[in-house]
Structure 1
């Protein structure tokens, strides 16, 4: 009898070990595969069982969560959805997440181990943590000024703090309400189909994901390269460039829209946007130096994040001198996002240094405990401080005496550069109107804001479309909002100091 008991006990032990091995296999070895299995509803149900954390603008939530009472209980809601959609993106139970909703999804959904009191042991915590909050760098007044300035026209606006790299405004137009995509079912599918087939492509983030020929705004990059290389030592000296200018190795003549460009100085060429002078300077600087300077400003960087992904801006690294001449004036294959051109303006305003742009100021737990803060980082030194100083003077001249007069602000120093970019087959498309610039309040130690504006469908006759006429007024409104916000902040700081 004892022998049979021993055999039964041994069999039970083997079965127990088998059960333990199988539990380890299911819980550890195959856990990720089972979690990712579309048939496993537990992960999805758990994801939407609690409210999602909020995205904040100046401390105010621009998102929320609504209790639907359905199995996927909480749906995302948006305050001023179209205004902030280029920042927040959408969080859809059907179509996933985009932009900040995607980049900070682990914080917002409560799955990030950083939300645990003991992050290294977060995996041992059986409960699900409440979603944390994400504070953005966006300033509400600047965002609204940019949004209302575009007024539904196709285009984009980006405003940066040149000193820190904070993204102060990020607008893409036309926009959409991400709340219509939050849930499930027929209405959500219909909204998705409608938005994806709309001629204005409202779900395209033109500020971060669309690249355009930057036109004459790129001349600031070429001028920086020429000054740093010593190709130009006196910005007021005649350049010796004929009008028109024959592209090297070809019979093609490059004309100017502006008058007085024959033998014009660099200062005059920037003021009135002479193609010939800057095209020739690009050739004289040479391909390797032009590529190096463009890269320092941010071109050809496929890894740029803010934290949302940014489409890489392009400056060709292998081309003939005639194509280099066209690329140096923002044509041929040169393409840039509005964020990239805002970085160009910010580099000039910031003394030649490009601060890494960022959109998330900090993340916190649901209770407000600080989880992390985005530090200021240097992206690159795009030019020497002396070159930046000379370019600031030239850009101020553009606004005070040249093509950018519509960007001027009483009582402030404003620098800018206009651009009109040809595109399409045979350059027959409606030109893109560009303006980049920066503004400094009187008596302030440094510029408060740098901005880039592009308008795809400027409301004017084709021959009258210009960055100065279509884009500069929008930039001025955004810069005025930035200066006013700084003025109010200074007053508030003064009152607190006296209290």
Structure 2
């Protein structure tokens, strides 16, 4: 009898060991596969089972979490959703996350280990920290000024603090309310389909994810390259620039939208935005030095994050001389985001040094304790300091005596450059109106803001002055908002 009991006990022990081994296999070895299984809703229930951290502008949250009482308990809501959509992005139970909601998801959802001093205990207990908060660099007044200025037009605004790289405004229009995508009901699906089918592309972040031909605003880069290369030594020296200018190796002639450009000095050509002078300058500088200067300003950089990715702005390096001439006036294959052109203006304002732009000032716990701050990055030397001084002088002339007079701000020094970018088949599309600028208050020790504005559907009848008439007033409003604050 005792022998049978021993056999039964051994068999039971074997079964118990098999159960333990199987449980370990499921919970340890195959845990990842079960966690990632679409049929497993536990992660989603846990993810939305507590409030998400907030995104802050000027110390105030522009996001909230609403308790729905459902299995996926908390849904995201947005304060002034269309105003901040290019910054926050959306957090959707059905369609995932974008922009800051995505880049800072670990902190906002509470899964980032830096939010907890007891990371090992949280792993063992499967506990989740309260979501942390993301404090942005945005200036609320500048953001509102940019949004109001663009109004119902398609376009974008980017504003940067030159000395630090802090992004002060990032606006794209038309916009949308990210809260319409937050839940998982039929209304969310309808909103998603409607937004994606809208021909105006309201979910496109034109400030950082759309590139445009920069037109005459790129002449800031060309002028800096010419000064750095020694092609131009005196701003008032006559240039060898015929009007019209025959593109090298072709019979195609390039003309100007204004008179008095033939052999004009750099100062006069910049003020009048003479295409012939800058096309010829680009050829004289050469593709190697033009490409090096463009790269120093940030063109062809595929690694820029703010912290979410930015579409790379491009300057084609495999061009012949005729193509180089067009590239040097912001046409052909030259493309730039509004953020990139704000970086160009910021480098001029900052004495030739370019600070990498960033959008997140710090990350805090839900109790306000800082756990992470913006990492300081060394500046990039975009041009010689002496060149930057000349460029500031040229940009001031545009605002004081040229096509940028709509950007004048009493009590401040303002520099700018207008631009009208042709596009479409045979340049048949409505030109894009550009304006890039910087401003320094009379009592400030350094420029406080650099701005780039692009308007897609501006009136084309004023040609080169379109940027000054349409985009410059928007830039002025943004600069005034920063200087007042």
Normalising by structure 2, report the TM-score: 0.97
Structure 1 residues 158 and 3: CA distance shift in structure 2, 3 A:
same
SS at match of 2:66: strand
Give the C-alpha shift of residue 19 in structure 1: 3.0
SS at match of 1:191: helix
Residues 326-382 of structure 1 deviation map (CA, whole Å, 9 limit, x = unaligned) = 001100010000000000000001111111100011111111111101123235211
Q: Does 1:116 align with 2:116?
A: yes
**Equivalent residue for 1:491?**
none
Q: Does 1:353 align with 2:353?
A: yes
1:314-353 pair list within 5 angstroms:
314-353=314-353
SS at match of 2:117: coil
**Equivalent residue for 1:191?**
191
Give the C-alpha shift of residue 51 in structure 1: 0.8
Structure 1 residues 480 and 227: CA distance shift in structure 2, 3 A:
same
1:407-446 pair list within 5 angstroms:
407-446=407-446
Residues 445-472 of structure 1 deviation map (CA, whole Å, 9 limit, x = unaligned) = 1100000000000146475861111100
**Equivalent residue for 1:68?**
68
SS at match of 2:418: strand
Give the C-alpha shift of residue 27 in structure 1: 2.2
**Equivalent residue for 1:256?**
256
State the distance in 1 between where 2:472 and 2:407 align. 5
State the distance in 2 between where 1:162 and 1:463 align. 30
Asked whether the 8 Å contact 2:122–2:128 carries over to 1, the reply is no
**Equivalent residue for 1:384?**
384
Alignment gaps of 5+ in structure 2: none
Structure 1 residues 165 and 119: CA distance shift in structure 2, 3 A:
farther
Q: Does 1:94 align with 2:70?
A: no
Size of the alignment, in residue pairs? 485
SS at match of 1:268: helix
Asked whether the 8 Å contact 1:89–1:98 carries over to 2, the reply is yes
State the distance in 2 between where 1:8 and 1:371 align. 58
Asked whether the 8 Å contact 1:113–1:123 carries over to 2, the reply is no
Q: Does 1:221 align with 2:256?
A: no
SS at match of 2:172: strand
Residues 283-305 of structure 1 deviation map (CA, whole Å, 9 limit, x = unaligned) = 11111111111111111111211
Give the C-alpha shift of residue 198 in structure 1: 1.5
**Equivalent residue for 1:163?**
163
**Equivalent residue for 2:211?**
211
State the distance in 2 between where 1:26 and 1:205 align. 43
Residues 144-182 of structure 1 deviation map (CA, whole Å, 9 limit, x = unaligned) = 000000012000000000011000000000111111111
C-alpha RMSD of matched pairs (Å) = 1.5
1:134-173 pair list within 5 angstroms:
134-173=134-173
Asked whether the 8 Å contact 1:113–1:122 carries over to 2, the reply is no
State the distance in 2 between where 1:31 and 1:375 align. 35
Give the C-alpha shift of residue 415 in structure 1: 0.4
Give the C-alpha shift of residue 8 in structure 1: 4.1
Residues 246-282 of structure 1 deviation map (CA, whole Å, 9 limit, x = unaligned) = 1111111011112111001111111111111111111
Q: Does 1:39 align with 2:39?
A: yes
Alignment gaps of 5+ in structure 1: 486-499
SS at match of 2:371: strand
Give the C-alpha shift of residue 31 in structure 1: 1.9
Q: Does 1:312 align with 2:307?
A: no
State the distance in 2 between where 1:181 and 1:52 align. 15
Give the C-alpha shift of residue 187 in structure 1: 1.0
SS at match of 2:56: strand
Asked whether the 8 Å contact 2:257–2:463 carries over to 1, the reply is no
State the distance in 2 between where 1:31 and 1:462 align. 65
Structure 1 residues 181 and 3: CA distance shift in structure 2, 3 A:
same
Asked whether the 8 Å contact 1:431–1:462 carries over to 2, the reply is no
State the distance in 2 between where 1:463 and 1:418 align. 10
Structure 1 residues 277 and 26: CA distance shift in structure 2, 3 A:
same
**Equivalent residue for 2:49?**
49
Residues 189-245 of structure 1 deviation map (CA, whole Å, 9 limit, x = unaligned) = 111111111221111000010000000101111111111111111111011110111
**Equivalent residue for 2:238?**
238
Asked whether the 8 Å contact 2:296–2:380 carries over to 1, the reply is yes
State the distance in 2 between where 1:129 and 1:103 align. 18
State the distance in 1 between where 2:135 and 2:101 align. 12
Give the C-alpha shift of residue 20 in structure 1: 3.3
SS at match of 1:33: helix
**Equivalent residue for 2:175?**
175
Give the C-alpha shift of residue 22 in structure 1: 2.5
Give the C-alpha shift of residue 473 in structure 1: 0.5
State the distance in 2 between where 1:118 and 1:3 align. 52
Give the C-alpha shift of residue 307 in structure 1: 0.6
